[in-house]
A and B are shown apart, each in its own frame.
Chain A
Amino acid sequence: MRPTRIDQVVPSFSGRDAIGVHMTHVRDLLRARGFESDIWCEGTFPDVRSQCRLLTELPARPRPGTWWLYHLSSGSPVADLIRRRPEPTMLDYHNITPGELFGPWVPWAVEEAASGRKQLDDMIGATFFAFADSIYNEAELRDRGCTRTRVVPPMFDARALESGADRDTLAARREERAEGGADWLFVGRVTPSKAQHDLIKALACYRRFHDPRARLHLVGSWMGDDYPRALRRFASGLGLGAAVHLTGPVPEPALAAYYATADVFVCASEHEGFCVPVVEAMHLGVPVVALAATAVTETAADAALLLDDKSPMALSTAVHRVLSDATLRGRLVEAGRARAHEFSLDRSRQRWAAAIDEAIGAYGGGSS
């Protein structure tokens, strides 16, 4: 049976984050392929309110011909709401950060992660097909009993960052760079699971042993206040208050300016379901040094310098090697561009179109 409408659902829709951007591209693809398609959510932001529908507007009665695509990355009552609906449901699993990685910093996230995993099990029993951003995500789905799966990387368009960098940010960054010193960049939510504190430790080593004027830019929204506050205090305590910049969330043009003025993208994250910023950096010719952990390993593949040792000394030595070895840097940039091309929007659209066809073909063959 072919549906006439495939609606996507997510607990909170933000057009800016990786899942929000991906959902928007999936919706456009579905509409282009003749399906009706909307994005439903429980909460959203004023700037993207017109792009989605609130679940409070969802009629209780069944909607014949409609399928759901539920995006799961954390626990939410929305998962239970969709699971109870009679319409066929597909799952797009973006992975759930294990609660223990939030430790005492974000207690509510620990609970949310636990409930998310419980809901994942429930959802697997209620869906007939599941998409996964990465082989890493797919492995968890399969461990939990999901049999009909397909790895399809998320959709995003790194080309959007090629031009239109914010002039003010660019000017400020260039002024800073004129003073000398390398610029490290990491893009991602400021949360203990992404281990920005390890980047500060590595920067401290790097400044002491290699480049005393190096800077670290941590771009991304905050998850709770305690962790970012501790990062600031930690940096101040090390005398790096002026060298570590926590920008908070920035609009796309400002993000483009940070990429354009970065010497290296450094990632110490302990858990990623895919890690879009790694690909963005590669697309924009920024060499990537990353901890070989979770899905980062497969996303970056052989286009990044992946480390097993996350000690500050190892990380700083690796960055120094990348920035002082022109051959290595050149090869990483070249391999990075090729790797990023694998995730170009055109290729992702083709993959998703095929994956949706596969899911439609699979419907009726039992639950996942």
Chain B
Amino acid sequence: MTTDDTTAGDDATRAYLDRVRREIDDEVRRRRAAGDFPPSFERRLDELFARFTPTGTADDAFTEALKLADRSAYFDIEVPIGSRREPKGFVKWSLWQAEAWFVNYVVTQLNHFAASAMRVLHLLDERLSDVERDVGSLTPPPLPEEEVLVPGADPAPFADAVRAALTAATSPAGRVLHVECGDGSLVASLAGAGVDVYGVDPGSAAADRAALAGLDVRRDDVLGHLGSVADDVLAGLVLSACVDRLSLAERRRLLRLAEEKLAPGGTLVVIGTMPEAWERAAGPVAADLAPGRPLHPDTWVHLVGQLGFSGAQATVGADGFAVLATKGRSDVPGGGPAGEAPAASDHAAR
């Protein structure tokens, strides 16, 4: 360790400033004790600023806000009428006496209204708490840490079909993204065929090796990365591995992002694991407790068709499958008009 070599003043200055600091502390203490610096003034400053402070983002933010609302929901009729100067105090008292009956009438109604409104809010809080409790009980318990995630389907058996679709003359301009690309084998294969491709993987050491081998592979969160890509720019998007384990809501978000980011005519490829093969590999605990499990190829065909992709078609291999579809265009092989009922799976290849 080496440290800063700047010099920091001389002893005389230090001693002088220490003395000044002590004098300031003494003055504050003395004037507080004498009532020159009333503590109530500082307290009022804190209270006023607290009014503008947002409630916390923590779990108890609602409770916190409710308490704050409870405290503010009472209107005090006793206005301060004290004053250091006698005549001023008398004027305030006289005004108060003259208007007390009217103010009291209005404030009483306001207090009734505020109390009723707060009662409604508390009831809502109770009901929401019940709902939260019920929803919480539906969440499956976490997977044991020692449960190893099942690797995604090997893309190799589908590489030819993917390459053919992405190098077709009808393919739009733009880059191809392989999401959760693992060791980058498909990225390498596509790059070798002249496709402008890059891969993203959330954390596998294999992806690091791919990057070191010169492939354009980055470590990034799947949904986060896709969300940061501009709309309508990708010529192709290959989704693999994560499609087997994401929750249903995350899968829907993934497909919506795919639809947004692909250029018109762009190719969507979903490479998934066959549910039966996944169950065999996962074992009973992971299979029962996993937040998401692989979908059948027909289900993917159905889902992408619902999103307006055309020509959705599944190719099924030994343990995995690939679903290929085109964004909103019917002039590609196997394509149909957007929204048309999806084509059936090609089980012959199984």
Contact = CB atoms under 8 A, between A and B. Distances in A.
A142 B1 contact: yes
A3 interface: no
A22 to B, nearest CB: 16
B249 to A, nearest CB: 21
A105 B56 CA distance: 8
A158 B9 CA distance: 19
B24 A317 contact: yes
Given A135-B4, A307-B21, A209 B37 contact: yes
A328 B4 contact: no
B17 interface: yes
Contacts of B14: 302
Contacts of A342: 6-7
A314 B25 contact: yes
A305 B4 contact: no
Contacts of A209: 36-37
B52 A147 contact: no
Nearest to A238: B48
Contact of A84 (B1, B10, B24, B208): B208
Interface string A305-318: 11111011110011
Interface stretch (A30-38, A182-190, A215-223, A226-234): A226-234
B145 interface: no
A150 interface: yes
A230 B48 CA distance: 10
Given A138-B1, A147-B1, A201-B42, A104 B53 contact: yes
A318 B22 CA distance: 11
B13 A302 contact: yes
B211 interface: yes
Contacts of A151: 2-4
Contacts of B211: 60, 84
B210 to A, nearest CB: 9
Nearest to B10: A302
A150 B21 contact: no
Contacts of A153: 4, 6
Nearest to A311: B42
B13 A60 contact: no
B21 A305 contact: yes
14 contacts: A60-B217, A103-B56, A135-B3, A138-B3, A147-B1, A151-B3, A205-B42, A298-B4, A301-B6, A302-B10, A305-B20, A305-B21, A312-B45, A335-B13
Interface of A: 60-62, 77, 80-81, 84, 86, 103-105, 107, 110, 134-135, 138, 142, 147, 149-153, 197, 200-201, 204-205, 208-209, 226, 229-230, 233-234, 237-238, 298, 301-303, 305-309, 311-314, 317-318, 321, 325, 328, 331, 335, 338-339, 342-343, 351, 358
Given A62-B212, A151-B2, A335-B9, 13 more contacts: A60-B217, A107-B57, A201-B46, A205-B42, A226-B54, A229-B52, A233-B52, A234-B49, A298-B4, A302-B10, A311-B42, A321-B23, A338-B9
